[in-house]
Amino acid sequence: MSSDENANKSDGLEPKFQWRAVGIGLFIIVVLIASFVLVINAGAAWNEREIKHSWQLLYLAALGGLFGGSARSLFMLISEIGIHRGKAKMPVMAYLSRWFLYLMKPFMGGASGILFFLAVNLGLVQHLTEASPSFRILPVFFVAAVGGIFFEEVFAVLNGLLSTLSSMDKPDEKD
């Protein structure tokens, strides 16, 4: 066996793990498409341009976050397992051993999408806009999708903020 054959053999995955990666990818694609289809169906079923009920707002924000989290999870799966297989810092098996994280990222994105939408549209920006904001279907979906895509960064910033606040609350110990 030549060194090229050994390198190709070490880069390849066993069929069991190839099917695991394919299964994870298919699950994420189904969640991605389903969340988008549900938003389109909701817009057609409600038959209105503006959202009038709070449950509709939360439903759309959750679907937007689910869409964004699915897109991020699919991108991470492709980049970590597929594209950067030869250049990765960790072996591909290390990425596949955390398969449950790829499946949970869409749902974490859904929760983050709701929080991001509420923080941006009802907490931070509401005071700068009109007194009674009117929400439309697509802007709610896209703001929540951005929150779902960047949920890891949002949680990292919140973690840093909470750690600095907790260190500020502790009294200084004097000898």
- What is residue 96's predicted lDDT score, i.e. its pLDDT? 75
**Percentage of the residues of the chain whose pLDDT score is greater than 70:** 72
Q: Where are the alpha helices (DSSP H) in 47-97?
A: 54-77, 92-96
Give the pLDDT band (50/70/90) at residue 45: confident
Decide if 113 contacts 66 (C-beta within 8 A). Answer: yes
Asked whether the predicted pLDDT for residue 175 surpasses 50, the reply is no
Ranges 91-100, 118-127, 132-141: which has the least confidence: 118-127
> Which of 68, 52, 171 minimizes the C-alpha distance to 116?
68
Question: Which pLDDT does position 174 carry in this prediction?
Answer: 54
Q: What is the pLDDT of residue 1?
A: 45
- Averaged pLDDT, 82-105: 73
